[in-house]
Structure 1
Amino acid sequence: MQQDDPTPHLGLRKVVVYRELVVTEGGERPARPASQASVAAVIANPWVGTGAGRDLSAEVERIAPALARLLTAKLIDALGGVDAVEAFGKAAVVGTAGEIEHGGALIHTPYFGNLMREFLDGESIICFADTRAEAGEALVVPLWHKTQAATRSHYQTITTRISDAPRADELVIVAAGSTGPRPHPRIGDRKTDPAVTVKSLESVLS
């Protein structure tokens, strides 16, 4: 039996879940094979046709929290639980009839970002990407460690693409994550890097 849409106020058309596991990299199996996933919601853009001076807050407060819950719940399920998620990121793709601010409104406010962070037991600011595009365009979503943003091993990306979205009057909102670092991380860490300045590298830069 088909279930009723539990979130009719979102204008939701579809949810797309993508998951991948890197088995080998550089011809070798990583010490910690990590899964990556993205969850994208395709929704009607509630602000299409409104002016650039329009206050977006009413729709943000109504839509963004439900999106945060929906996307993070499915991301947690795709990656095997909250504790399994080590890195996270978020993104928005705005259809061509919308403003880039429409995407930002749904991912850059506390009504989405703070809730996504809390649902995933994170502490770091969530890195992001946003763009305006026609249906089918790929977007690279950056990720980093959910509690230790300076942990360079977890700087990675996942590419999301929906073949028929966003339509001109739609938004695609994305939550993404990883269960571990890049394969074979070995470029050190920001907390243990030496002090590097233009002056310290004068012999190299001259």
Structure 2
Amino acid sequence: MPDVIVRKTVSALEEIYHEGGPVAETPLRRASVMTIIKNPFAGRYVVDIQPFMEDLKPLGLSMAQQLLDMLGGPDNIQGYGKGALIGEAGELEHGALWHAPGGYAMRQLLGKANAIVPSAKKVSGLGSRLDVPITHINAAYVRSHFDSMEVGCNDAPRADEMALMLVMTTGPRVHSRSGGLEAWQIKGEDGLR
């Protein structure tokens, strides 16, 4: 398979103290890491693309570690998500190659993470942004952690690129009060509840 050729990495950290209500004692922290790589399949249809997932695994681990470093380590993480923007010469299926390398990397480094990692992907032009979905790391039905983080940059993805993204958060939405399953009610049996 082709090498993973990185053009650049973009990271962001948000600290959210309030959404118009009272100021939180501890802000919600959301972080993203996006790596822009050359799409080895751009401009042509390739049947067997699955082996490239193996090549992306070290990148996934590196990006997940960057997020943990930004947010103070695995004990601080409560939410996560992943996404991919594929340049115009690629296809949506190329973004699907990020599911396993991105998701399993975060789950591996977190140790205890039972919930499936939510994801979004699209084929897009230069300067596009993606709302990366976020859910609780151990129970996808924890409503307080349903969130998203907008990720992108002004010069990606170019037509022959992929912009691969990982996001982690330190808690629920800062003013969560919509009910449903609460984090303290998680049973941890199936990744859902």
What TM-score range do you get, normalising by the shorter chain?
Answer: 0.7 to 0.9
Q: Does the alignment pair 1:28 with 2:19?
A: no
Deviation of 1:120 after TM superposition, in Å, equals 2.3
Deviation of 1:87 after TM superposition, in Å, equals 0.1
The worse-fitting range, judged by mean Cα deviation, of 16-25 and 34-43 is: 16-25
Q: Does the alignment pair 1:115 with 2:105?
A: yes
CA RMSD in angstroms comes to: 1.8
Q: In 1, distance between residues paired with 2:21 and 2:102?
A: 39
What is the 5 A alignment of 1:80-91?
80-91=72-83
Query: What amino acid is aligned across from residue 103 of structure 1 in structure 2?
Result: G
Residue equivalent to 2:53: 60
Which is greater in Rg?
Answer: 1
Q: In 2, distance between residues paired with 1:38 and 1:152?
A: 21
Secondary structure, aligned partner of 1:75: helix
What is the 5 A alignment of 1:1-206?
9-51=3-45, 54-62=47-55, 64-105=56-97, 107-109=98-100, 111-121=101-111, 122-190=113-181
Query: What amino acid is aligned across from residue 120 of structure 1 in structure 2?
Result: L
- Give the length in aligned residue pairs: 181
Per-residue CA distance 1:78-122 (angstroms, 9 max, x = gap): 1111111110000000000001100111x223x442232111231
Is the contact made by 2:18 and 2:175 (CA closer than 8 Å) also made in structure 1? no
Query: TM-score by structure 2 length?
Result: 0.87
Q: Unaligned stretches of 5+ in structure 2?
A: 186-193
Secondary structure, aligned partner of 1:9: coil
Residue equivalent to 1:198: none
Is the contact made by 1:72 and 1:120 (CA closer than 8 Å) also made in structure 2? no
Q: In 2, distance between residues paired with 1:162 and 1:148?
A: 31
Identity %: 36
Deviation of 1:32 after TM superposition, in Å, equals 4.1
